[in-house]
Chain A
Amino acid sequence: MAAQGRKVISRASAEELGSVSHLVLDSDNRRIALVVVGKRRKARVVSWEDLSGFGADAVMVSQDEALREPQDDREQAAAMGDLELLGRRALSDLGNELGKIDDVVFDPDSGALESLVVGEDERPAGSLLGAGSYAVVVRADGAESAPRQWQS
């Protein structure tokens, strides 16, 4: 997801509205829910549904109004960067840290999550259980119940 810094362009006015700061996941539906544009107090958000295209060179929105103020608590947290995925701690549901989220692979047409990259490991979208400000939680794989390095 090298989406960071990608320009956000209005299809209606052809104006550049800003640049992508990060993407926010809807962990229940395992898809990208929100694009955060700009940083911190100046951050605005676009719902994935309001995008007309997530292209290699630019993120297109149908009209300028699609870029809006964050509304509920979760959107506020997203705008403040609290839900940024990259670099977030990855935790298994068995309570063991797996590393950091290094990349998020998704379908640019549908926004559907395909996989989460944690170090050398690629975890399928289906293993995602929850994502918040503390951790991204994924289902433990078979290997985790046993390996020696967790015996401390």
Chain B
Amino acid sequence: MKLLVTGSSIRGLPVVSIAEGEDVAEVRDIIYHAEAGAVVGFTLNKRGMLAGRLKQGLPIEQVHAVGRDAVMIDDGSQLVAPEDAPEAVGSPETERDVIGNDVLTESGVSVGAVTDVVVLAGRGGQVVGYQIKLPGGGEGYIPLPVQLAVSGAALVVPDVTRDFVCNDLVGLGAAVDEFRARLGIA
């Protein structure tokens, strides 16, 4: 079993320094690179009511763990100024947004439209699935291979994905390994 969290549930989480026990920021948005299959970092807000955007960002390499209730960093020095940030984190507007994109199988059948990304908790920010709006209405989850083809308009997934559409995150947690095993990916 894996602990999975959706992108929308990560937004707004406090960023907590382990050494100090302080909430140093909160997640404004997640920066996701679909080709890499991973979250590459976070943009941040200041903590507190009416607090604005924080200039610094948080690259995923600096994250100790993404959890259900907080994003953990070792101490406050993990936040990086925009000029020091890796390109992917410093210029999030270049990110290709997958929300709303149609998910097509290799044989051309629509599985649904992406409504959110599903992140494996812990280190690394690996994106293991998408939350999708099913063609027949309703919500579902699909597992993802490690890498996939992405264009501005559509995502192409293996045909076998259709056998692994899950109703909830618990189901997806169990399905990811089996799905990848079926595709022959470790």
Residue numbers of A with Cβ under 8 A of B are 27, 91-97, 129-137, 145-148, 150-152
Contact (A129, B18) CB under 8 Å given A151-B169, A151-B170: yes
Decide: A130 and B68 in contact? CB cutoff 8 A.
no
Task: Give bound CA distance, A136 to B28, whole Å.
Answer: 24
- Asked if B44 is at the interface of the complex by the 8 Å CB criterion, the answer is no
- Asked if B129 is at the interface of the complex by the 8 Å CB criterion, the answer is no
**Cross-chain contact of A130 among B14, B20, B71 (Cβ < 8 A):** B20
Task: Give bound CA distance, A92 to B22, whole Å.
Answer: 13
Contacting residues, chain B, for A129 (C-beta < 8 A): 18-19
- Asked if B12 is at the interface of the complex by the 8 Å CB criterion, the answer is no
Contact (A130, B121) CB under 8 Å given A95-B70, A95-B72, A96-B67: no
**Cross-chain contact of A94 among B1, B9, B22, B122 (Cβ < 8 A):** B122
Task: Give bound CA distance, A92 to B72, whole Å.
Answer: 9
Instruction: Output the nearest chain B residue to A88 by Cβ-Cβ distance.
Output: B21
Interface of A is mostly: loop
For the complex of A and B, 3 pairs with smallest distance between CB atoms: A95-B67, A132-B21, A134-B23
Contacting residues, chain B, for A152 (C-beta < 8 A): 5, 9, 68, 169
Task: Give bound CA distance, A51 to B124, whole Å.
Answer: 46
Contacting residues, chain A, for B66 (C-beta < 8 A): 95
Give min CB distance, A112 to chain B, whole Å. 19
Beyond A91-B16, A91-B72, A133-B22, 15 additional pairs, beta carbon < 8 A: A27-B21, A93-B18, A93-B65, A93-B72, A94-B67, A95-B13, A95-B66, A95-B68, A95-B70, A96-B3, A129-B19, A131-B21, A132-B21, A137-B16, A152-B68
Which residues, 151 to 184 on B, are CB-close (under 8 Å) to A? 169-170, 173
Contacting residues, chain B, for A146 (C-beta < 8 A): 1, 3
Interface of B is mostly: mixed
Decide: A96 and B17 in contact? CB cutoff 8 A.
no
Contacting residues, chain A, for B23 (C-beta < 8 A): 134-135
**Cross-chain contact of B20 among A91, A132, A145 (Cβ < 8 A):** A132
- Asked if B4 is at the interface of the complex by the 8 Å CB criterion, the answer is yes
Contacting residues, chain B, for A95 (C-beta < 8 A): 13, 16, 65-72, 121
Contacting residues, chain B, for A151 (C-beta < 8 A): 1, 3-4, 169-170, 173
Report B3-35 CB contacts with A as 1/0, cut-off 8 Å: 111000100011011111111000000000000
Decide: B68 and A134 in contact? CB cutoff 8 A.
no
**Cross-chain contact of A92 among B1, B13, B67 (Cβ < 8 A):** B67
- Asked if B96 is at the interface of the complex by the 8 Å CB criterion, the answer is no
Task: Give bound CA distance, A110 to B20, whole Å.
Answer: 23
Q: Can you sample 26 A-B contacts with CB below 8 Å?
A: A91-B70, A93-B72, A94-B72, A95-B16, A95-B65, A95-B66, A95-B72, A96-B3, A96-B67, A96-B70, A97-B68, A97-B69, A129-B19, A130-B17, A130-B21, A132-B21, A134-B21, A134-B22, A135-B16, A137-B72, A146-B1, A151-B1, A151-B3, A151-B170, A151-B173, A152-B169
Which residues, 45 to 72 on B, are CB-close (under 8 Å) to A? 64-72
